[in-house]
Amino acid sequence: MKNKYINYVTVLAIGLSITGCKNQTSSASHSHGEDSHTHDYFGAYVLEDDQYGTKTEVTLANGQRNIKTNALPNHKTGTFPNEGNPNTISSQDRSYAIPANPKYTGKAQWVREPGVALNGVKFEPETAEVVVCESGERYRVEAKQELIAMGLDFNNAHVQPTGAYHYHGTPTSMITEFDTGEDLVHIGFAKDGFAMYYSKSAALKPSYRLYNENREGEDCEYNRPGHELVVPIDDSHPDGTFVSDWEFVDGLGDLDACNGTTINGAYAYLVTDVYPYIPRCLMGEFEEEHHGPPPGGGPPPGGKLPRGERPNRN
């Protein structure tokens, strides 16, 4: 049986009016069916896909949205292992408890795994790959770049050593599965409880741009078994290869530092085809898993690190 959904409750009419930030509200109705294109996912549901092995169950209780999943995607993926990614996709045992009634704080807080897709696959935009310079700079490598092969598939995803498939950018096939015909496609929930969307027309623009200042750093290398590389950093111009190549400029686009905005009276996040691709921070209250601070101690959301990321720099 493919894509079985039960106990589903709908909410939220989607619009593009940009207004003040409020908590997400809903009006409930009841629906059953087999087609993900006709469902909303703000209530409880079960998603099972025999073709891909997906098993995700969502329940609502005591103000929490409880997600239990094996984190297998409900769509086609690229081939793993591959040249840039030596890992094999395997079933996980993941549970999430996120607020069902999110609270907006307006304070951006960095987060390693900002949210989870409706199919149970996690969003994790940044990588653990680092270029280290003898002069002290550390440059975190973006997943979507051309310097170092990360083995991303056509869903902008790859696999961790644990076997966990995860999205670093636009989850192309997943968007197709959950597309209802509207421009905004609901694709997941952030860990603070606010919804995550993708705009097929790119109607809402991020507010990031590349720095104009050249990078600094001498004798810089990327070291991973079988992938050693000398990287010419000093006086090179930011091109998007590293996290610190980008700066947030308030008002440059439609979205804030966490790639969020207010849609029809409710705060929400956007996954975009351009940087930051997936939010790197959250604007609501949430309990982060114990992943620690950003590598190198920073940067703050949109913060300027023209010399790369130093271990003790705030």
pLDDT tens sequence across 100-146: 999 999 999 999 999 999 999 999 999 999 999 999 999 999 999 99
Structural domain includes residue 311: no
User: Token digits for 313?
Assistant: 């720099």
Residue 88 φ then ψ, to 5°: -115, 135
Structural domain includes residue 81: yes
Residue 178 φ then ψ, to 5°: -110, 10
Structural domain includes residue 306: no
* Average pLDDT rounded to a whole number, residues 79-107: 97
pTM of the predicted structure, to 2 decimals: 0.85
217 neighbors 296 (Cβ within 8 angstroms): no
- For residue range 158-206, what is the model confidence (pLDDT) as tens digits? 999 999 999 999 999 999 999 999 999 999 999 999 999 999 999 999 9
Q: How confident is the model at residue 27 (pLDDT cuts 50, 70, 90)?
A: very low
Number of domains in the chain: 1
Structural domain includes residue 313: no
The residues near 215 (Cβ < 8 Å, ≥ 6 apart) are: 137, 139, 233, 234, 235, 236, 237, 238, 242, 244, 245, 306, 307, 308
Q: For residues 5 and 33, what is the distance between their CA atoms, to the nearest angstrom?
A: 6
Check whether 5 has a pLDDT greater than 80.
Answer: no
Structural domain includes residue 210: yes
Q: For residues 309 and 312, what is the distance between their CA atoms, to the nearest angstrom?
A: 9
Structural domain includes residue 215: yes
* Predicted local confidence at residue 290, as pLDDT: 59
Structural domain includes residue 227: yes
* Predicted local confidence at residue 133, as pLDDT: 97
Structural domain includes residue 197: yes
User: Token digits for 301?
Assistant: 């959301």
Above pLDDT 70, what percent of the chain? 80
Instruction: Look up the domain containing 278 and give its range.
Output: 2-297
- Per the prediction, the chain carries an average pLDDT of 85
> Side chain identity at 132, as an amino acid letter?
V
Check whether 35 has a pLDDT greater than 60.
Answer: yes
